[in-house]
């Protein structure tokens, strides 16, 4: 991943970098790895995330703009 600093505007470059990392799921991954997660808890979390994704897709299919 690369962020270019234009006109010595480091603050803006940092903001862009944080935004890219957030969209990439980097901060979520860091949070999950801070503490050990039991395999059973990990499995339940993954199933819940999958269920949420499927519900989101289903909502998008039902509501279609015309």
Place 66 in a pLDDT band, splitting at 50, 70 and 90. Answer: low
Place 1 in a pLDDT band, splitting at 50, 70 and 90. Answer: confident
Measure Cα distances from 33 to 45, 62, 63 in Å: 14, 36, 36
Quick one: tokens of 11? 């603050």
Helix intervals (H) in 1-66: 10-24, 26-33, 39-62
Quick one: tokens of 16? 């862009």
pLDDT value, residue 64:
65
Place 21 in a pLDDT band, splitting at 50, 70 and 90. Answer: very high
- Mean pLDDT, the chain, integer: 92
């Amino acid at each position: 991943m690369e962020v270019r600093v234009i006109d010595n505007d480091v603050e803006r470059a940092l903001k862009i970098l944080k935004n890219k990392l957030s969209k990439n799921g980097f901060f979520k991954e860091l949070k999950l790895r801070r503490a050990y997660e039991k395999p059973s808890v990990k499995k339940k979390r993954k199933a819940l995330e999958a269920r949420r994704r499927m519900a989101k897709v289903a909502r998008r299919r039902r509501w279609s703009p015309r």
